[in-house]
Amino acid sequence: MIDKYFNISQRGSSFKKEIIGGATTFLTMAYIIFVNPNILGDAGMNKSALITVTILASIIGTLLAGIWAKVPYAMAPGMGLNAFFTYTLVGGGVEWQTALGVVFISGVVFLALTVTGIRTKIIHTIPLALRLATGAGIGLFISFIGFKNMGLVVANPATFIGLGEFTPTLLIGLAGLIITAILEVKKVRGGIFYGIILTTIIALIVGELKAPETFVSMPPSIGPIALKLDVVSALSFALIGAIFSFMFVDLFDSVGTIVACSYEAGFVDKDGKVEHVDRILEADAVATVAGSLLGTSTTTTYIESASGIANGAKTGFASVITAALFFLALFFAPLIGIVPGYATAPALVIVGVYMFKNIKAIDFSDFSESIPAFLTIILMPLTYSISIGLSFGFISYVILKSVAGKYKEVSVLMWIIAALSVLNLVLGV
């Protein structure tokens, strides 16, 4: 019955592949359980409650993606969006309750745009070159995050970035990268997953990690932040820009992630249209609304889903596995916490390679196509923002196509997106 509902056999997958893929996705994004509470905690919210809320929001969004949209994507409170919530909105003088109201309103508007089909039209109107560039750019972006988490790439006041010191944790991370790469070359199913496990074991053996003192704990109460949002205050005219900013970043981060993962999972037809896109976007919007009610910033589709897809996940059953592991995390947070960032970093680097490979389909002989694609790709990691890379790609595309006399190739919706992209850059999101 499960096989039939999720079309596991039909998609050439198996329960083993789906379980490994779902587990891999979980391990590569489990850091959000600890990072999100720390960031939102700086906004004055209860950190203990945020741990539970972060996990619950991830479970809800991921189950919607798996059971409703039937795709192997996972959702959780978005990185970048949580920083904007805390350091821009609340840091600018807005109460966190009002900021949650802003997130709620943006989610409701998103849901309306999704139901009316406008979000789907936005995705399908994006030119193929920019779609392919989005996947490649995100690949570079998450690889950069992987190198950063590993400690290989660090900040340098003279050159902006530089080579990190070869500390024991960096050496363990590099060993994990080599192990994972070898497993992938040997075409070992679940290579990325096994790479994370082996890297963590190495860290335990050499003494860089300590086993947790306790393995089980009851989840903290969500009472201090659940249903504390202030929608009335969020309807203030002064917060229209903030609502738009959340919508813009979530829209194009989600679009970029969905398009990139859909190519990897084979959910794109011969005309370049993404299958199941309506339900994916509906799940994304509903998850954002639910998350705001629980007490967290915008919930979005996670690019780490690509790691599970790379390990064989092809159906929504993998997302059910990911959600189940998030549920277990409610009670085993101390155990999950021993998996360090430098152990999951190699997975991000390898996934970046998988996502970058579609760049070969871009026509680099046509500069009206290749320059926007290049700007999209390179500016994502350099600005540490998916939405900024997309903004420059959209703006340059409509300008160069018009100058080249190919303005008929630019739809009205693309002009609107380009105009919104300019506004996004002006607002400094």
Which residue blocks in 266-315 are alpha helix, DSSP H?
Answer: 277-294, 305-310
Q: Choose from 107-121, 237-251, 254-268, 359-373 the range with maximum mean pLDDT.
A: 359-373
What DSSP state is assigned to residue 300? E
Give the separation between CA 328 and CA 84, rounded to whole angstroms.
29
Q: Which residue has the tokens 């995050």?
A: 145
Distances (CA, A) of 115 to 121, 127, 197, 278, 360: 11, 23, 41, 8, 34
Q: Does the pLDDT value for residue 252 go beyond 90?
A: no
Task: Note whether 426 and 248 are within 8 A (CB).
Answer: no
Retrieve residue 194's tokens: 């096994």
Give the separation between CA 374 and CA 409, rounded to whole angstroms.
19
Give the pLDDT of residue 271.
65
Give the separation between CA 193 and CA 372, rounded to whole angstroms.
35
Give me the chain's average pLDDT, please: 84
Give the pLDDT of residue 57.
94
Give the separation between CA 284 and CA 344, rounded to whole angstroms.
25
Give the separation between CA 24 and CA 29, rounded to whole angstroms.
9
| 114 residue type, one letter | T
Residue 170: closest CA among 409, 379, 346: 346
Retrieve residue 328's tokens: 């277990």
Q: Choose from 274-278, 290-294, 411-415 the range with maximum mean pLDDT.
A: 290-294
- Residue-wise pLDDT tens digits, 320-355: 999 999 999 888 767 766 778 788 888 888 878 877
- What band does 429 get if pLDDT is binned at 50, 70 and 90? very low
Give the pLDDT of residue 427.
61
Q: Does the pLDDT value for residue 366 go beyond 60?
A: yes
Ranges of beta strands (E only) in 34-137 are 75-77
Distances (CA, A) of 134 to 54, 80, 254, 383: 27, 17, 11, 14
Burial of 279 (0-12, 13-18, 19+ CB in 10 A): middle
Taking residue 251's Cβ as centre, other Cβ atoms within 10 Å add up to 24
Mean pLDDT, residues 15-33 taken together: 84
- Residue-wise pLDDT tens digits, 51-107: 899 999 999 999 998 998 888 889 998 876 777 788 767 877 788 998 899 889 888
Torsion over CA: 192, 198, 204, 207 (sign)? negative
Distances (CA, A) of 37 to 31, 43, 52, 295, 393: 11, 10, 9, 11, 33
